[in-house]
Amino acid sequence: MRYTGKEAIGIMTTQIELGKESEETRFPGKTYAEVVLTPAYDQAKKEPLAPMVAIHKAHLIMLREQNLLTEPDALRIAAALRSLDLENLRNGDYTGEFEDLFFEVEHELLLLAGDAAGNLHLARSRNDMGIAVYRIVLREKLLQTVRSALELYGSLHAFAGRHTETVMIALTHTQQAQPTTIAHYIAAVTDSLARDIRRLQAAFANCNLSSLGAAALTTSGFPVSRERVAALLAFDGLIDNAYDAVSGADYAGEIAAAVQLTAINLGRFVQEPLLWCTQEFAVLRVADPYVQISSIMPQKRNPVSIEHARSLLSSCVGNAQTVLSMIHNTPFGDIVDTEDDMRPYAWKSLNTLESVCRSLSKVVVTLEVNHETLRSRAETSFATVTELADTLVRREKLSFRTAHTIVSGVVHRVSGGGGSVRDITLNILNETAENIIGRPLRLSAEELKQALDPVHFIQVRSLRGGPAPGEIERALRVQEITQRKLREWLDDKAAGMNRANKYLDETLASWPANP
């Protein structure tokens, strides 16, 4: 049969389409491998490979202790685990020969230990194992992030300690409000960071629980010890319900939320030093190692270290939000597959937060403060007049609202004429008072001067939480205690994980080499 040109083209097109289709008829489909399996494999060989092997070791030790493996099989598997070429696995590429890295590792163990290695998966599933791997990687990144956040905490604390008497004007609604000190402001940022670190601590507590022994979702008929495996891997406890163990995702969401809030809080803070570095504010000078120049403008000292912190913190917020969004789109069931896609965003958000904290800690300790400019602004600002109103209450026995009205009238009169707080005189104050209360004030010129002094303003605000130097020094001592306790917690958790890894290796190394 002869075909017309159009018919021939149609047949050829169909054959080509069938050829394309055949590429997708064998597992793994080419597109699926490209979009899903290869990225997941590349992630797994970098971060989760070591935790996966650690879980193999802990599970093997438990199976032997529970007499669920014969002695020869246990020794063969141990020898195979010791012989695994992890570096070769890390350098490998996804070929599609194995569905994922788990099956490739299992294949390597079968080659090394024979059929005995098949029993290593007794009473276990990729579900409970995958969740445990993910939790181990996240807990390690959490500790790294807390360590760098504590470094920043220490830098902020030290910076505040150097400026307990450095007067500045605090702003509300972006307008001059009241005198305070650099230390008072920075101590507030430090306290906020302490809360962020405690939220990361809480996230660690819910992350550092073992899913192992849940198997697919109903545990197993074999008498395994979930508690023993959890202890061997330095988990603080178990996820009690096996269904929850493989389905719950709130631990990842809690980490994302804690990371996101920390990044938001630090992002709010870095706006301030960026403004203060401008010539118009002229408050801070960033040290030379943390500024960059212009290619055309010789005078430029661009505080790019802080600018990059700002943008990176925004990316951290975005990546954390992606984690939360992906959890929202996941049914309450096995979430291992979703976590493969979610991992990069969770890891990147933690890595970014850790690096920004580390970078900012170096910048903060080198900041130079323009004391004279800050003091001069405070002395010429109307920011002190709250204390003048308070003084009228104490000295004249007026209600605060009446005193506020008198002082407000004075400020309106002086500022309207282009004057500063230094232009407030006793005559102007008395004239304003007579118009409002019908009499002059008993206040002396010296009392007026003191009431408008920013240093006096700060010194009399010695209530807990205030800016008075003595109160700030007390608050800084409390922060030292907080810092010490947080560091002790961090060191304890890190040491426990190191001990667990060492115990696994030493235990398997102590077993006879030949079954």
329 falls in which pLDDT band (50, 70, 90)? confident
Comparing CA positions, the residue from 206, 202, 213 lying closest to residue 246 is 213
Average pLDDT over residues 122-148: 96
pLDDT at 367 over 90: yes
How does pLDDT run across 6-21, given as a tens digit for each residue?
A: 444 444 444 445 455 5
43 falls in which pLDDT band (50, 70, 90)? confident
Confirm if 177 and 383 have CB atoms less than 8 A apart: yes
Q: Give pLDDT, residue 18.
A: 47
pLDDT at 437 over 80: yes
Give the integer Cα–Cα distance in Å for 467 and 203: 33
pLDDT at 3 over 50: no
The pLDDT mean for the chain works out to: 93
Average pLDDT over residues 440-457: 96
Characterize 206-227 residue by residue with b for buried, 16 or more Cβ atoms within 10 angstroms of its Cβ, and e for exposed: bbbbbbbbbbebebbeeebebe
Q: Residue 42: which H helix or E strand, with range?
A: helix 38-46
Characterize 158-173 residue by residue with b for buried, 16 or more Cβ atoms within 10 angstroms of its Cβ, and e for exposed: ebbbebbbbbbbbeee
Confirm if 325 and 314 have CB atoms less than 8 A apart: no
| Strand runs labelled E in 333-437 | 368-369
How does pLDDT run across 248-304, given as a tens digit for each residue?
A: 999 999 999 999 999 999 999 999 999 999 999 999 999 999 999 989 998 999 999
Angle between helices 336-366 and 250-276 (to 10 degrees): 30
Q: Give pLDDT, residue 27.
A: 82
Show the tokens assigned to 382.
Answer: 């109307």
Query: Given the structure tokens 């010539």, which residue do they identify?
Result: 279
Confirm if 74 and 82 have CB atoms less than 8 A apart: no
The amino acid at residue 507 is T
Give the integer Cα–Cα distance in Å for 368 and 267: 21
Comparing CA positions, the residue from 330, 203, 184, 174 lying closest to residue 261 is 203
**Over pLDDT 90: what percentage of the chain?**
84
Confirm if 286 and 367 have CB atoms less than 8 A apart: yes
Beta bridge partners of 285: 368
The amino acid at residue 272 is E
pLDDT at 130 over 50: yes
Confirm if 62 and 225 have CB atoms less than 8 A apart: yes
Give the integer Cα–Cα distance in Å for 79 and 403: 85
Q: What is the DSSP letter of 169?
A: E
CA distances from 493 to 54, 259, 352 (A): 17, 19, 22
Q: What is the DSSP letter of 422?
A: G
The amino acid at residue 494 is A
Show the tokens assigned to 446.
Answer: 């010296």
pLDDT at 22 over 60: no
Residues near 71 by Cβ (< 8 Å), separated by ≥ 6? 64, 515
312 falls in which pLDDT band (50, 70, 90)? very high
Q: Give pLDDT, residue 506.
A: 97
Q: Give pLDDT, residue 17.
A: 52
Show the tokens assigned to 400.
Answer: 């605060």
Q: Which of 100-104, 404-408, 452-456 has the lowest mean pLDDT?
A: 100-104
Give the integer Cα–Cα distance in Å for 169 and 182: 9
Confirm if 408 and 199 have CB atoms less than 8 A apart: no
Q: Give pLDDT, residue 8.
A: 42
Comparing CA positions, the residue from 60, 117, 71 lying closest to residue 512 is 71
Comparing CA positions, the residue from 445, 462, 464, 350 lying closest to residue 388 is 445
The SS3 call for residue 417 is: coil
Give the integer Cα–Cα distance in Å for 122 and 490: 35
Give the integer Cα–Cα distance in Å for 417 and 82: 85
Average pLDDT over residues 133-151: 98
Show the tokens assigned to 281.
Answer: 């504010």
The SS3 call for residue 99 is: coil
Give the integer Cα–Cα distance in Å for 89 and 84: 9
Give the integer Cα–Cα distance in Å for 156 and 491: 21
Q: Give pLDDT, residue 122.
A: 96
Residues near 210 by Cβ (< 8 Å), separated by ≥ 6? 132, 135, 226, 229, 230, 233, 235, 237, 238, 239
How does pLDDT run across 449-501, given as a tens digit for each residue?
A: 999 999 999 999 999 999 999 999 999 999 999 999 999 999 999 999 999 99
How does pLDDT run across 161-207, given as a tens digit for each residue?
A: 999 999 999 999 999 999 999 999 999 999 999 999 999 999 999 99
Q: Give pLDDT, residue 37.
A: 85
